[in-house]
Structure formats: C-alpha cells, structure tokens
Amino acid sequence: MASSSNKKTLPNSPSSVGRPPSSSVKFARRTSSGRVMSLSRDDDLDMSGEMSGENDYINYTVMMPPTPDNQPGEEAKADSTAGTYAASRFGTEPRRRNDGGGGGGEASKMDRRMSVMNSSNNKSILLRSQTGDFDHNRWLFETKGTYGIGNAFWSQKDEDSYNGPTGDMNMHDFIDDKPWKPLTRKISVPPAILSPYRLLVVIRLIVLLFFLVWRVQNPNPDAMWLWGISIVCEIWFAFSWLLDILPKMNPINRATDLSALHDKFEQPSPQNPTGRSDLPGVDVFVSTADAEKEPPLVTANTMLSILAVDYPVEKISAYISDDGGAILTFEAMAEAVVFAEVWVPFCRKHNIEPRNPDSYFNSKVDPTKNKKRPDFVKDRRWIKREYDEFKVRINGLPDVIRKRCEMYNCREERKLTKETSTGGSARSIEPLGDNAGDEPGSTVPKATWMADGTHWPGTWLEPCADHKKGDHAGILQVMSKVPDVEPVMGFLDEKKLDFTGVDIRVPMFAYVSREKRPGYDHNKKAGAMNAMVRASAVLSNGPFILNLDCDHYIYNSKAIREGMCFMMDRGGDRICYIQFPQRFEGIDPSDRYANHNTVFFDGNMRALDGLQGPVYVGTGCMFRRFALYGFHPPRANEYLGVFGHKKAPAPQYQTMDSVRLRPPEEGDEAAPLAEHPDLGLPIKFGNSQVFTDSIAVAEYQGRPLADHETVKNGRPPGALLEPRPPLDAPTVAEAVAVISCWFEENTEWGDRIGWIYGSVTEDVVTGYRMHNRGWRSVYCITKRDAFRGTAPINLTDRLHQVLRWATGSVEIFYSRNNAFLACRRLKFLQRIAYLNVGIYPFTSVFLVVYCFLPALCLFSGHFIVAGLNLAFLSYLLTITICLILISLLEVRWSGIGLEEWWRNEQFWCIGGTSAHLAAVIQGLLKVIAGIEISFTLTSKSAGDDEDDIYADLYIVKWTSLFIMPILIIVTNIIAAVIGISRTLYAVIPQWNKLLGGLFFSFWVLAHMYPFMKGLMGRRGKIPTIVYVWAGLLAITVSLLWLTLNPPGSGMTGAGAGEIKI
C-alpha cells in the first residue's frame, strides 16, 4: 500500500538533511509474520505511524504485492495528454519532459496511476528477467511506473492495450512470454592465464631460433659427428614442438543449459499442446568383435546404461554390432533386455547414477544420498539380488550353450543312426567341416544350436564352412520393439517392484551381425560401423548417431541431452559431431603408463575446440547422420592466404537436388565439380530405395528449432511429434539386405560416405574428411563425466595400443588424407594439428638417436659442444625455464595435474622409443613392399587375480617392442660407469664433459623409470629374459668398444678417450 500518514521515511536521513524536500518513493514488503522488509537501497523505513507534515504526499512508501494486479484499487481519472518524452541515458528507457513548467494538475493526475511510456523497445526492456518470470521491481524502475492512493493497480484502460493505438502488447506478454535463450555458451580462458601463455610461447620460439643458430655456428671440432647428430635431432625437436604448440594458442571452454533445452522441446506450446518431446531421435551404436577379449558381461552393462539413459524413450534406439557373429554375445544381449525391464524403471524411479549396474553396485559412495523415497532401500536390495542372478546367468552362458549343443548334436546323431539301421531313406547330410568324414552323409556336423532348437546362423563353436569367422550369414534381431509414443505407467507387482507412476517402457534394441564371406574385404571396425549406419537408417533413422565402444558406458544419464544442446542451438546445423572426453576406470593410482591421457583430452582437445573442432577419437562421439553421408554443411568458409588469415564464404556445392539424391546426368551443370576430391557430392549409396529415401528425412529432422530470427536452416516447432511406425517384416528384410557383404560394391561407402576405409585409425580419417568439407566439431566436457571405460594397464597391452594408433598416423601421412593436401575449408591451425597427427611418429627416429647420445658422449669422452661455456648454459637455462612456465600455465587452463603432465612426458619417451619406431618401420614396409598391417584387439578383460584389481599391471608379457628401450637403458648405465671410471683415472680429468654426459644420461633414465619398474613385476624381480638381453648387450657394447679403442692405442695424455679407427 501507499500512504502518507503512517508510512514514511526517516526525517533525519542523510539523503534529506541540508536540502529542500524532494519526491522519493520507498519500496517495502510485509512478510507473513507482519514484519516490514525494505526493498529499497535507501535508508531504513520508519513505520512508527507519525505524520510527516507538509511533505505528507512527497515521501511515501509502496507496499509491494506479489503481483501488480492481485489487489486492484480505484481507477484514477486522467487526461490522455502527458507532454512529450525523451530518451534517458539508458538509451531504451523513456523519460517525461514537461513543456514550460505547466500542466501540474494533469501531471498530478497522471502520477496516480500506472502508465507505460511509448517506446519501440518496451517489451525487450520489461522481459529481462533471466528466470522468465515477471520482474515487478525492474518494471517499476525501467518504466517509471506511478501509483494512485492505495494499492498499485493496472489501469483497466491499459488492460487490453497499453502500447498506443496498435494494441500489440498486453499484460500476458509480461507474465507468460519468456525471452529467447541460447542452449550453449562459450567460456573463454581468463586473459591473465592465456596472455602470458602466448607470450612465453613466442619468447621460447625466439630463444630457440637463436640457440639453433648459435649451435650451427659453434661446432665441436673434436667430435664433429656428435655435433652433427645432435644438431639434426634438435632442429627436428624444435619443429615437432612448434607443430604441437601452435594449435594450443586458443583454448576455450563451453557450457550447456539443460533447462533451456527442456523448455524449448518438452513443454506445452501452441505447436505442441500436449508437451510431448520435440527432440530429434538418436541411434546409439556399440561395436564388439571378440567375445573372449570383450566379455559379454561388460558389453551387457554398457547396453543397460544406454537403455536407461535420460532421453525420451521413443526417440532412442540402441544397436550392437557383433562382428564375430558369436552366439554368446547374442544370448547375453537377450538376457540384458530381460533384466532391463526392471532395471530401467528402477533407475527412473530413484534417479540412479550411474546407470551401469556393475559400476553402481561397486561404487564406494553412500547409495542413500539424495534419495527421498522411503522404499529406496528395499528396492535397491531387491534389484541387487536380481543383478547378482543376472551375472550368474551371463557367466554361465558358455556352459549352457555347450551342453545344449551337445544334446542337440547327440539327438541328430541318434536320428541318423536309427534311420540308417532301419534301412529307411536317410537324409543326406553333407559334411560342413574341412575334417569331416570321407563319405558324404556319414557324420553329423557339430552345429551350434539356439535355444529354440534351430541352427545358429553365425559362427559355430566348432567352425565350419558358412559358420566361421569371416564366413557367416548376416543376422538382425530386434530384441526390444519400438516403444509406444505415450508413457506406459507401471503398477504394484508382488513379484517385482512398485513402479506405480513410473514409465516402464524400454527403448528399441537390435542385434546386428553383418554378413561376411571369403573374397570380400570387410574393412574391420569401419565396415561394421557402416553396416550399422545403413541398418539403423532403415529401422529407426535417427538424425544423430552416438558411437561407443563395448567397454565405454554412459556414466552421466543426461550426456545425450548435453550434446543435443550444441546440435539444436543457433548454428548447430554446421556441427558434424560432438566429441566427449574419454575417462577411464580401473587405472592404477599412480597412472604409471599415462592411461588417463589427460594431457591430450583436457589440453590438446580443449585447444582444438577453439579452432575448427577436436579430432574424432573413435568412441564417445555424437555424429550428425547427414554429415556422415558425405554432404557439405549448409554454410562454410574458405580460408585464403598463406596463413589462412583471409576468410570468405565458400561456394555451395550442395543443393536440394543433391539432398533428394537426383542422379546426375552426364554433362549436367546442376552438379558442379569440386576442385578438391573431398568437395564432391556423394552419389553412389547402394541400390536400396528405402535407405536413399531416408537421407532427406534425417537431414530435415536434424535441423535446429527455428524459434528465433537468427536461426538459419531451422525446422518449425512441433515437426517431430509424429510417432514412429511399428516395424514390419518388409522393413526388417530391407535392413538385412543392406548389411550383406555385396551391398557396398560399386558404391562410395568407405571412400566418401560413412567411416573411411584404408587405415587402422579410421576415426581420425573420418573426422578429418568432415573438417575438410567445412564442418565444425565441438568438444563437450560435462561437469559429471559423460562416459567411462577401461584402458589396458599392462605395459605390453599399452604399447600395442599405442603401436596401433601410431601405425594409423603413419598410414595417414602416406595417404591422400595428409593435411598437406587439405582444401581451403580447413583452418590453418587446424591443418597444423592434423599435420602433427601424421608426423609425430617420425619423431621416434630422432628420439632414439638422441637417447643414445649421452652414452656416446660418455664412451668417447666428448660432448655435443666444445665446452659448457656461458652461452650454452644461458640458452639451455632460458629454454628450460620457458618450457616449465609454459607447462605450468597449460596445467592451469587445462585443469590437469603436474604429476599427470610428468607421466605423459615419461610415456612419450617410452612409447617414442618403442611403439612409434615400430610404427614407422611398418608404415614404410607397407608403402614400399605392400605388406599389410595387422593389429591385435585390445583386451577388455581384467586380470586373473580377483582380489587385486591391478593384478594386470604387474604381468610381464615379452614383446619385441621391449628391445629398443632395454638397449637404451643398458647402454646408458654402462656408459655412465665407463665415463666415471675414465674420468677418475685420467691424467687430466675433464669433469665438465663428464657432468654434461651424466646429466643427459640421467634425463634419459628418469624418463625410462616407469618402463624399468614395469619390467620388475610385482615383487621387484627382473625376468630372466631381461638379464639375458642385458648381458648380450653389455658384451656386444664392450667388444665394440675394444674394437674401436683397443687398450694402449689411444690412452695417452690429454687425448685419452678419443676414438681411434
């Protein structure tokens, strides 16, 4: 309320003392207890009830109601003339200006009611509340709203129209309408960290150039061979460091707004009266190839986390690709679907995180934290028993399948024997195996049987023709049907949990095993992923595809929503994929072999996000299906100039005709030719009309919502509310046809469409092709990890994994996917990053040579420089200090730890001297001799010791990759002993050269420490094979030394220690 008798300000307040009384308005609100709370920034209110004299109606207090119209007061009459108005210093806020000081009576009447000033931007001013609610206080301030005697009220005259004669605004505009919100925002790295980081990079680059010039101009005449080798290695290291550091100059962070996503796509609106989800569909792909190295229980837990994801059930579809065609995986997935019928509603009822059962029940946190339902403990105990039984069934499947097959095979043999003995017409059973009997029909093949008593069409336990790896039929089984579009609520069941009010639907789930036949190149994982792309396009056709490994499960149930914020935001139609960081479980606490790889995932990838986007790393990635098909983005730029500093819009090769896949005729000018091979349009998709028709549908459904004038290439709200039709037999038959081994013949699959063939690291090549067409990618780091998986903690397995990655990089370098051949749509620094991907394995050649240099210095008694003078030490100190400061700042903006950074440096040296060198040799053999490269599938199973989860860490598996690191370690240790002995017994000891050699030898051994510790095993015992190799190497080095420098030939005076050949 507003009154002048009992509500007034303090008369002696500093704001009123010493000057004439002026008009002021105070705001207050009465709480439920009767206490008056001031809402003004001025002095406190005096609610004593005293009169205020002549200033009775000048200073008064406004009692704020919850809403401006819940207590209407008496309407005041006023004329419509209110003088002229002028803009205030805020630009958009109107201010009244009286003419000539007249019209006081009219102004007094006007001040007794609310009025809204005529302004073209009134609505944008009044709707500044970030919560979307009506902000009454801000409305009063920005519109200079006035009051009559009594309650604040809304004039009836202005109820229908208060923006002039047009009447285009009313009260509901301020209460119901919500401001447009972006779904994502970009968070820059603080300049206090980024600016010094860039400055130090420039300083180190300049000092490095001066140092290399000084090194070239100051050779060591006593050991020119040492000087020459070191110069070549140091120049390459400087070049490699430059390739690595340049793409890190613009790191950024990003954040999403899940509440805005919910408001836009899942709230009732005129276009969506029921509030049904308008989000696009997502197809989740999981790939597996070997049931022995990738245990079915791990894969089943991954699938359960997908089926329980927090996303509209009718919009999610799950697929698993079993490239081995194993019945064990098939039946494990069938068991997982049965368990999902209780696990998925349990997760929704109690908001479980994570939704991988194994990780959830093995979690060390309090399970009752933030759980509000009183029946949670009882439900959790029941579901834990169900999961234990589920694990027993999964682990017992091999024995169940074997016994079933033996039973059915014995039955078939008895039938054959009975028919033969009775002299009836025996069935002619052809021997399917290579070692079958000599006479056809004499034996029954040892088939693998399904639970329904039919032959398994995939790989049999005892392989034979048409039923072995690389030779089996295509299999597609829809294990969980397409869910209803409306929620299906559960009920109280005595045998299960009480799911009353909980949606019990389960997403669609399909098992896929593509057909394989001899004579066809199946292209490993890339071929399996492309088969799933085609099958999913026929069955569900989700415009977005989430790709996961079988051991990477969804740790954050809202991860798909986080990624969808970027795809559905303004400009999201230019994004080809969202890459999430890889996080790992089961890593030893010290992370001996840098398995977490945080320097790459939190440093390099975050920096690439500030350019054209991160590279695709094979898992945890959400693709735009239309981009996977090889099409161009709707808008792209070309970067011209030497350093790509000139940006210009790229020509649009894509037209609606290409989206509709009109086959171009010869000489047709409507299909323009691109000047770069990657810029051509995909044409040959195969002979499936159903698949071809699905492409334009996926492109349209993947567009962002056109809810703002700045959103380009959008779709109208409510366009995705139609339910999916149920699957029928012809549709499933078409899906089986597109996964046949012959479907890709005479098509562009693997060349321009889908995952790209020709490399063991198909993930990097696929992402590179998309960036080369002008697409952008985004790196999405969520507060709670989106996905988690496992990584090999055994040294041998870790080196084999790095070998596969490095081999793929060498293949990229020697192929047309080399960044040197990229088109102008690739940014300059993005090109540098991809160039580094193909070049980094070659650093191993120079690294191996440089690791032997300290030993050569100690053997020969010389050093890479003539002496440890002031110039050399100053350069070395400056470069080292700059590198340390750069690393510290990189740790700051990336969020990694110093120990993680040091572990990464150590394993860079270990991998560089072993796996990277082998990858370079394999790559050269493939290019020169045409020898194909094979790799070993990384094992996802844990060690045999169940009591120690890190048992695999101490297992020593000999591999040829150990030879070079062992040689480097033994050589440096022997050289250190020889160098110290020579210096101690020399006539004129040269301590400066000894100290230089020992320092660099210690640098090498410090980087090799994790490798040496890994060879010692659990109890610190070195395997016998290491002793054998060390002894052989020591004898070889000693004999070589005696041959080059026999006793008494070069040990005179100051020339002691020189090599004499």
Residue 593 is given by DSSP the state T
763 is catalytic: yes
Spatial separation of the C-alpha atoms in residues 997 and 978, rounded to whole Å: 11
Residue 731 near residue 538 (C-beta atoms within 8 A): yes
Say if strands 646-649 and 24-30 run parallel, antiparallel, or are unpaired: unpaired
d(CA 920, CA 808): 10
Q: Are 128 and 177 in contact (CB under 8 A)?
A: no
682 preceded by a cis bond (ω within 30 of 0): no
Instruction: Give the burial string for 123-151 (b: 16+ CB within 10 Å, else e).
Output: eebbbebeebebbbeebbebbebbbbeeb
Beginning with the edge strand found earlier in the chain, give each strand of the sheet holding 475-480 in spatial order: 475-480, 508-513, 316-322, 282-288, 544-549, 621-624, 575-579, 776-779
Q: Which of 301, 297, 298, 302 is nearest to 286 (CA)?
A: 302
Amino acid symbol at 549: D
Tell me if 567 sits within 8 A of 544, measured CB to CB: yes
d(CA 114, CA 855): 89
Amino acid at 653: Y
CB 159 within 8 A of CB 170: yes
Ramachandran region, residue 541 (left: φ > 0; alpha: ψ -120 to 50; beta: rest): left
DSSP codes of every residue in 4-60: SSS-EE-TT-TTTTTS----EEEEEEE-TTS-EEE-SSSSPEE-S----GGGTTTEE
Q: Is 693 a catalytic residue?
A: no
CA-to-CA separations, 908 to 352, 447, 840, 948, in angstroms, rounded: 39, 49, 11, 28
Among residues 161, 139, 150, the alpha carbon closest in space to that of 67 is found at: 139
Closest CA to 940 of 342, 260, 287: 287
Q: How far apart are CA 476 and CA 755, in angstroms?
A: 21
What does 318-356 look like in DSSP terms, one character per residue?
A: EEEEETT-BHHHHHHHHHHHHHHHHHHHHHHHHT-SS--
Q: Which residue, chain included where needed, has tokens 């790229």?
A: 650
Q: Collapsing DSSP states into helix, strand and coil, what is residue 575?
A: strand
Set 283, 379, 763, 952: catalytic member: 763
Evaluate whether 712 touches 706 at the Cβ level (below 8 Å): no
What is the per-residue DSSP string for 1016-1048?
Answer: TTTTTPPPHHHHHHHHHHHHHHHHHHHHHS-TT
Out of 46, 278, 322, 323, the active site residue is: 323
The dihedral of CA 169, 173, 177, 179: what is its sign?
Answer: positive
> Which among 273, 132, 183 has a CA at the least distance from the CA of 561?
183
Q: Which of 616, 720, 345 is nearest to 496 (CA)?
A: 345
Give CA–CA dist 824/650, Å, rounded. 9
- Of the candidates 834, 850, 643, the one whose C-alpha atom is nearest the C-alpha of residue 243 is 834
Neighbours of 710 (CB within 10 A): 9
Do 826 and 639 meet the contact criterion of CB atoms below 8 Å apart?
Answer: yes
Taken in order 939, 945, 946, 947, is the CA torsion positive or negative?
Answer: negative
Nearest to 136 by CA among 27, 289, 13: 27
506 CB neighbour count, 10 Å cutoff: 22
Residue 100, burial from CB neighbour count under 10 angstroms (0-12, 13-18, 19+): exposed
Active site residues: 323, 763
